[in-house]
Structure 1
Amino acid sequence: MRNLRYVLLAGLLGTALSAQADPVSYKLDPGHTMVLFSWSHFGFSHPVADIGITDGTLVFDEKNPSKASVEVTMPLSNLDTHVPALDKHLKEPDFFNADKYPTITFKSTGVKPLGGKKYKVMGDLTVHGVTKPVVLDATLNNVGPHPMTGQQAIGFNATGMIKRSDFGLGAYVPKVSDEIQINITTEGSVPKAGQQ
């Protein structure tokens, strides 16, 4: 009877430990992450810019995705419109004012599973020193061992829309659209031992 108690206790401990181990922390890969935003330019074109990330962490539990979280930092030094003069202009005080506000950050506040691989990700976006709530529509692309490295990996796409005037970036509205469309693709992996 005592042996049975030990077996049951060991089983309960194992279950508890495995339940605690379910959330997995991924480091997002700047080399496989694009944060694209686009706008209407006087109704004639829809330019696209990429800002990317320098640092990002995603915590994801496949069994309980509502407890997922994500936090990223996007440096304006990486801003790339493919037009150097526009890159320079967007960093000036009438737009991002990159000298004073060198980064954009996003920190999730909640995740709502929608079924399948679809999620609503709510979070706080800080741009130009202003923090506003935003909602992203996210799709889980893949999760599992990466075929190149063997490390546990994850990949998402996400879309959203913001009004730049909400962040004090209203120059040329409405001729240049207030609405900014955001498209994100990212992947990350569990860091190897000794990596941060």
Structure 2
Amino acid sequence: MKMKVNKLAVVLALVMGVSAPVFAQSYQVDTNASTIKWTGKKVAGSHHGTIAFKEGNLEVKDNQLVGGNLVVDMTTIKDLDLTDPDWNKKLVGHLSSDDFFGVEKHPVSRLVIKKIEPKGGRQYHVTGDLTIKGITKPVEFDSNILVNGNKLEATGTMPVDRTKYGIKYGSGSFFSNLGDKMIDDVFTLEFSLEANQQPD
């Protein structure tokens, strides 16, 4: 009888000592308050513009970002440096074509956040899977992330090697004698993101 009582006491102590599990909370991206600026460089100069988030959900646990899924609307590509309407339309059309992002067949791109590593302060190293034109490859970048109550803010710059996604147009890695028509393999996405906690 004494043995049974002792066992029961141990079980109760274990149960009472275990705290309730902390579940991840969902934060929804505010697409109106979030922005993405793209920059592509070439021998003769560079171009830059914007592209918009379509939707996104982020997972937060203990006030720390732990994962998420971000979707970009590829049909919203804009160029901001060409002031001539005809040249601007021509560039955006080319970027939307199969030479580059094939927007008609692939209207969205997606980033799935897999791992977040703290670097000190608000700085974090983010690892994820980026899908462009139906091709998924791992990416890494640094981000400044702040979770303040029911609001999350994140900024950073993500470099993307377009050739990993089958975008080889004007690439010196695949074609020779391009001269000043050569386009850098890597373009950058500078993002500013806001998300709000969703009710349980």
**TM-score, normalization: structure 1?**
0.78
Which position in structure 2 is the counterpart of 1:30? 31
How many pairs are equivalent?
A: 174
Deviation string, structure 1 residues 54-95 (Cα, Å, up to 9, x no partner):
1101112246x4x70021111111111233322221111111
For the 8 Å contact 2:144–2:155, the answer to whether it is kept is yes
Which position in structure 1 is the counterpart of 2:193? 186
Unaligned runs of 5+ in 1: 1-7, 146-151
Equivalent residue runs for 1:19-98 within 5 Å: 19-21=21-23, 23-44=24-45, 46-62=46-62, 65=64, 68-82=66-80, 83-98=88-103
The worse-fitting range, judged by mean Cα deviation, of 49-58 and 34-43 is 34-43
Which structure is larger by alpha-carbon Rg, 1 or 2?
Answer: 2
For the 8 Å contact 2:60–2:67, the answer to whether it is kept is yes
Alpha-carbon distance in 1 for matches of 2:120, 2:103: 39
> Over aligned residue pairs, what C-alpha RMSD do you find?
2.4
Segments ≥4 residues shifted beyond 6 Å: 8-11
Amino acid at match of 1:86: L
Unaligned runs of 5+ in 2: 1-12, 81-87, 173-181
Shift of residue 167, structure 1, vs aligned partner: 0.7
**TM-score, normalization: structure 2?**
0.77
Which position in structure 2 is the counterpart of 1:137? 142
Deviation string, structure 1 residues 167-187 (Cα, Å, up to 9, x no partner):
111111231111112211100
Deviation string, structure 1 residues 22-79 (Cα, Å, up to 9, x no partner):
x3310011111112221113242x321222211101112246x4x7002111111111
For the 8 Å contact 2:116–2:127, the answer to whether it is kept is yes
Alpha-carbon distance in 1 for matches of 2:98, 2:139: 24
Change (3 A) 1:11 1:187: farther
For the 8 Å contact 2:22–2:61, the answer to whether it is kept is no
Paired residue secondary structure (2:78): coil
